């Protein structure tokens, strides 16, 4: 988690530096677009986290675990099992085919967070 936070802070610093640079060049429109885009990402992320805490998600997660078992579908591990969304297109209305059971390591690799 600490590494993810540090990565987030680095990205945030880069965005702020770019916004400052754009403002100095007189490109305030681009800076505003970036700010709106970032705001919508943050709003989506908040809705997603709230959904993951909901009873509806917990029921779907249990259904996925009952369907595919407590074994990673990629490597066969039984430790730190998680349920991954293959797509977010039908978020809150997922089909079982939109979900897969994976271990924590494979989940991190899927999202490109190699460690």
The phi, psi pair for 14, rounded to 5°, reads: -60, -45
End-to-end C-alpha distance for the chain, whole angstroms: 11
d(CA 99, CA 86): 6
Banded pLDDT at 38 (limits 50, 70, 90): low
Taking only the tens place, the pLDDT of each residue in 49-79 is 999 999 999 999 999 999 999 999 999 999 9
pLDDT at 78: 92
Closest CA to 94 of 64, 55, 50: 64
Flag the least confident range among 27-31, 57-61, 96-100: 27-31
Average pLDDT, the chain: 83
Model pTM greater than 0.85?
A: no
Inter-axis angle of helices 2-25 and 28-52, nearest 10? 160
Q: Helix, strand, coil: what percent of the chain each, to 5? A: 65, 10, 30
């Amino acid at each position: 988690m600490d590494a993810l936070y540090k990565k987030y802070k680095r990205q945030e610093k880069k965005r702020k530096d770019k916004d400052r640079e754009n403002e100095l060049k007189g490109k305030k429109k681009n800076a505003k677009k970036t700010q709106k885009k970032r705001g919508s990402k943050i709003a989506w992320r908040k809705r997603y986290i709230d959904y993951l805490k909901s009873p509806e998600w917990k029921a779907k997660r249990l259904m996925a675990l009952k369907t595919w078992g407590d074994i990673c579908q990629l490597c066969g591990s039984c430790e730190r099992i998680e349920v991954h969304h293959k797509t977010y297109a039908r978020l809150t209305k997922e089909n079982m085919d939109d979900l897969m059971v994976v271990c924590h390591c494979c989940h991190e690799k899927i999202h490109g967070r190699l460690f």
